[in-house]
């Protein structure tokens, strides 16, 4: 069955990522969008990043989900937090540089802690080895996660823990920051035996039938 995608919301979505390319523009842009129907636009275009991340983390942690400590990076309005809560996870923190997005996330009541910060590659104010898993949906876009983010995310998780990320496969391929730089950072860490690539897969149905997802699951060694 073909899903009906709302064209007005899709235009809004595509022009956002065409027009806002620097970290400052991105944060300002989300602060406006969240007052102007971000969640309903993501529903209307059938954006499924949160569902895919929820399913990845569920496969990795089939039992004792209430004990798994997760940091949701680029948490936005909490769609990933909601998907994880729906799957039985309870200990979830949110991190996002855009305060109005986090304020919206608070309404869903799915996170324990709200961290208003951005992943830049510099160390975050979070101790090493805090989390069992770090999640991230829909942040492989200009002005969002830098390639070096992987190094910092790896620091935040325990040995044996996971990073589960889902993004737009088309943007990943089109943006050298991801296709070359982030892929290179991952390869280097893998060759140094600091992480293992558990999954790198292209999946249909990231946003309707128009965009595919790239799914990445990395394990800290
Ligand atoms: C498209 S939204 C995705 C929100 C949520 N993960 C979802 O799937 O609905 C992207 C989010 O990434 C956040 N973001 C942008 N740059 C970031 C960075 N460097 N570190 C962490 N979050 C960032 C934005 O503020 C925004 O809330």
Give pLDDT tens digits for 151-204.
999 999 999 999 999 999 999 999 999 999 999 999 999 999 999 999 999 999
Q: What is the CA radius of gyration of the chain?
A: 16
Alpha helices in 20-148 (DSSP H): 23-33, 38-44, 49-60, 79-86, 99-106
pTM value > 0.75: yes
Write the class of the CATH domain 7-220: alpha beta
pLDDT in tens, 11-25: 999 999 999 999 999
Q: Give the pairing of strands 113-115 and 91-95.
A: parallel
**Is residue 50 lining ligand 1, measured as CB closer than 6 Å?**
yes
Q: Does the CA dihedral 13-146-78-60 come out positive or negative?
A: positive
**Is residue 139 lining ligand 1, measured as CB closer than 6 Å?**
yes
Q: Which numbered atom of ligand 1 lies nearest the CA of 49?
A: 8
Closest Cα to atom 9 of ligand 1: 79
């Amino acid at each position: 069955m073909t899903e009906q995608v709302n064209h007005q919301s899709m235009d809004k979505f595509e022009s956002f990522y065409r027009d806002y390319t620097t970290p400052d523009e991105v944060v300002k842009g989300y602060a406006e969008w969240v007052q102007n129907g971000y969640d309903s636009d993501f529903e209307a275009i059938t954006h499924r990043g949160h569902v895919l991340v929820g399913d990845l983390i569920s496969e990795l942690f089939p039992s004792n989900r209430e004990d798994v400590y997760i940091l949701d990076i680029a948490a936005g309005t909490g769609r990933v937090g909601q998907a994880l809560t729906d799957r039985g996870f309870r200990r979830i923190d949110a991190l996002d540089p855009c305060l109005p997005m986090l304020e919206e996330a608070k309404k869903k009541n799915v996170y324990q802690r709200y961290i208003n910060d951005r992943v830049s590659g510099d160390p975050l104010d979070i101790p090493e080895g805090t989390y069992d898993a770090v999640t991230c949906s829909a942040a492989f876009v200009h002005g969002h996660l830098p390639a070096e983010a992987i190094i910092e995310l790896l620091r935040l998780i325990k040995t044996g823990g996971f990073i589960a990320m889902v993004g737009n496969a088309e943007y990943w391929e089109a943006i050298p920051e991801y296709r070359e730089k982030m892929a290179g950072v991952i390869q280097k860490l893998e060759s140094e035996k600091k992480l293992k690539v558990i999954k790198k897969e292209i999946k249909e149905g990231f946003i309707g039938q128009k965009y595919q997802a790239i799914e990445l699951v990395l394990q800290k060694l």
